[in-house]
Structure 1
């Protein structure tokens, strides 16, 4: 069997000879070997191209997230390494073309936070009850599942806890908190635009 170098040299020779020489028509054994080598090389390249095309079409590689977002379970997240109040956190997310993370990606977010950022702490999430006390809804209008609240929460301590915090690594993991308190926050970038309605 010819080495890869020999095949490359043979292919170069064929290309240099150009259309004046047609392989396989001379009846020469060397020409026939060269034609077979070129054919094998073409088939191998076609197979490699097809494999690469299929790999690029799979979701295995996850979504392409714009900077500074990172991919986790087909979602794009940004978790701050600095603390802001809830309203400032939301403005920051909106300024990045995203919004505070909500219900549709809670477990992907938890995995991302635990693996990539920190083992314990609190993160602002996309829910607030400032307009109607005790009516906890996500920013998209959906009601929060009561099973996600830590025992005794929400409690609206001192009558001013209106913003949602996710505790990491607790399960259940939601707390109500004073909106002006400084905490880390999680933004979710929805490919195709912000996730707010």
Structure 2
């Protein structure tokens, strides 16, 4: 009986040791879990910050203009010195840069393009009424907003189906342009 009692006490003592080891191990794991959770939170914050910075860099790179072009807003502008008809100019833009003649969406953009052109010079713009006489549209399909043009412009003087910018205002060139 004495042996059985000693064995039982030994088993109880072993069970207490195991329980104590288990609690110690559990406590260690909980501490490691807390440390890893904190580290993961910090890494996530660092990654979020880095992603934001990278997106800003990509945006800057995305909107860089090629050499010889001028940036305004999110667009790039190229001013050719070659004299061409409106249609030839349109094709030139499409073939050179997969772009189009300038579409002017604001008074600021009109003034910017006018500044590129200079005084008393004509430049083709992407405005036409070729589709429907008297219904002016930009080459990208958007309708003309006339709030930043002189009253009565563009007009349909002389039957021209395209427009030029001269001194910051939209006009028609002579027919045949």
What's the TM-score bracket when you normalise by the shorter of the two chains? 0.5 to 0.7
Deviations 1:137-165, CA, capped at 9 Å, x for gaps: 1122221112233333333223x211021
Deviations 1:110-168, CA, capped at 9 Å, x for gaps: 32551x5524422111121122111001122221112233333333223x211021222
SS of alignment partner, residue 78 of structure 2:
strand
Residues 14-29 of structure 1 aligned to structure 2 (within 5 Å)? none
In 2: Cα distance, 1:74 partner to 1:146 partner: 22
Whose Rg is larger?
A: 2
In 2: Cα distance, 1:168 partner to 1:82 partner: 19
Counterpart position of 2:102: 101
Counterpart position of 1:180: 176
Deviations 1:74-99, CA, capped at 9 Å, x for gaps: 32110112221100100110111211
SS of alignment partner, residue 103 of structure 1:
coil
* Residues 71 and 87 of structure 1, relative CA distance in 2, 3 Å threshold: same
In 2: Cα distance, 1:144 partner to 1:71 partner: 23
Whether the aligned pair in 2 keeps the contact of 1:124 and 1:166 (CA below 8 Å) is yes
Whether the aligned pair in 2 keeps the contact of 1:148 and 1:174 (CA below 8 Å) is no
TM-score scaled by structure 1?
0.51
Counterpart position of 1:164: 163
Counterpart position of 1:153: 153
How large is the Cα RMSD of the aligned pairs? Answer: 3.1
**Going by fraction, where is helix more abundant, 1 or 2?**
2
* Residues 109 and 61 of structure 1, relative CA distance in 2, 3 Å threshold: farther
Counterpart position of 2:57: 57
User: CA shift at 1:60, angstroms?
Assistant: 7.1
TM-score scaled by structure 2?
0.56
In 2: Cα distance, 1:155 partner to 1:112 partner: 20
1:110 aligns with 2:96: no
SS of alignment partner, residue 118 of structure 2:
coil
* Residues 106 and 83 of structure 1, relative CA distance in 2, 3 Å threshold: farther
Whether the aligned pair in 1 keeps the contact of 2:114 and 2:166 (CA below 8 Å) is no
* Residues 106 and 68 of structure 1, relative CA distance in 2, 3 Å threshold: farther
Counterpart position of 2:123: 123
The count of aligned residue pairs is 124
Q: Which runs of no fewer than 5 residues in structure 2 stay unpaired?
A: 1-49
**Going by fraction, where is strand more abundant, 1 or 2?**
1
SS of alignment partner, residue 146 of structure 1:
coil
